[in-house]
Amino acid sequence: MKNIVLTGFMGTGKTEVSKIIEARLKIPRLCLDDMIEKSAGRKISDIFKVYGEPHFRKIESDMVALASDKTGVVIDAGGGAIINEDNLKNLKRTGIIFCLSASADAIFERIRRNASRPLLNTKDPKNIIAELLVKRAPFYKKADYTIDTTALTPDKAADEIIGIMKKHE
């Protein structure tokens, strides 16, 4: 079975949907953020603060390579992993990529109470979300499928992904 790879902006449901898929299909779940933190021995926010984004992206690429060597797993790839072309190629090599999307308003409502989101430490987080969505759109379009979760529950989004995967068997 090909890997199920979930990407998309924060707040689109990657973590919840990947956990539902893991439970329903009884396949292992790999969360790149967890893998990065375990590899680095510190939280992602600390990696950014201490070493900067380039260092984080290097660790991320290493973890993408490790995850892509597996088969039959669901990968919560995070929102920025496929911005790197090599990461995209690695993930597509063994998986089918699903980009979870949502409106900027829905994303804001979902993440606004989460203090660990660096985007919220600005005067206008809604505007930052909208800007980043536009900036990342060309990369997200490279996914094999896009699932708009604005009006979907995580269960319904998982249903759609599992249905699509059955067509690929």
Domain boundaries, the chain: 3-102+140-151
**pLDDT digits 0-9 by tens, 6-54:** 999 989 999 999 999 999 999 999 999 999 999 999 998 888 889 988 9
Q: At what angle do helices 44-51 and 32-40 cross, to 10 degrees?
A: 60
Assess if CATH 3.40.50.80 describes domain 3-102+140-151.
no
Query: What pLDDT shows up at residue 168?
Result: 87
Which candidate, 48, 87, 93, 84, places its Cα nearest to that of 64?
87
Task: Write down the pLDDT at residue 115.
Answer: 61
pLDDT at residue 166 in the model: 94
* pLDDT single digits (tens) 68-107: 999 999 999 988 899 999 999 999 999 999 999 999 999 9
Selected residue with higher pLDDT from 47 and 148: 148
The angle at the Cα of 109, spanning 112 to 54, to the nearest 5 degrees, equals 55
What share of residues in the chain are helix, strand, coil (percent, to 5)?
60, 15, 30
- The per-residue pLDDT for range 110-138, each reduced to its tens digit, is 988 766 665 566 778 888 889 999 999 99
